[in-house]
Amino acid sequence: MFYLKFNYYVLRIIQLFFSNRVLKNATAKCHTNLTLAKYRAQGATIGANTLLIECKLSGSSKGDRFYIGSNCTITGVTLLAHDASPTLFLPELTNFEPSYLPGSRCSYRDPIHIGDNVFIGWGCIVLPGVCIGNNVVIGAGSVVTKNIPDNSVAVGNPAKVIKNIEAYKASYYELFNKYPERF
């Protein structure tokens, strides 16, 4: 990770004095690699051509797991692969005091699985154990509490499937043809 950070900051400094497309692209690629390395260090397995932009991944001393497919865009999303709330009500889940020490409480944990070709909009929350299928769009601000099947669009709190991906694509083709300047 140090090497990635070093390269990124060197490129940023060079950009202060020189500006061209090649340098700009190299800096962007380095930044993306640095960002993905951070998420991998937090327990994420990430497929090719996937972007995570300003996301939060839950972490615990026992390690949360996130499996994210290829060709995904996940923006401003919170992925919660554990739930520590039962420790307040089940004394068997308290290992020792004080509670702020790592490992002092047991948490329910279940990995999150996200398929290929998935877009998850800004402000979404995905809860432990959820599986999101392939070719899925999750609308901004949704709370995903249950599995979302392949080829669907889901929105809301809790998120519900509102249409299939073909209807979604058709609506955007229509908008693109009617208002190309908006794209």
Architecture of domain 45-182: 3 Solenoid (2.160)
Contact 51, 26 (CB under 8 A): no
- What is the predicted pLDDT for the residue at 172? 96
Instruction: Give every CB contact of residue 107 below 8 A, 6+ residues apart in sequence.
Output: 60, 62, 82, 83, 84, 86, 87, 93
Contact 39, 78 (CB under 8 A): no
- What is the predicted pLDDT for the residue at 61? 66
Place of tokens 């998120």: 159
The catalytic residues are 82
The three-state secondary structure class of 172 is helix
- What is the predicted pLDDT for the residue at 2? 79
How many Å apart are CA 44 and CA 172, to the nearest integer? 31
Mean pLDDT in order along the chain per 10 residues (183 residues)? 80 82 89 92 95 92 90 98 90 90 89 98 98 98 98 98 97 96 95
- What is the predicted pLDDT for the residue at 46? 98
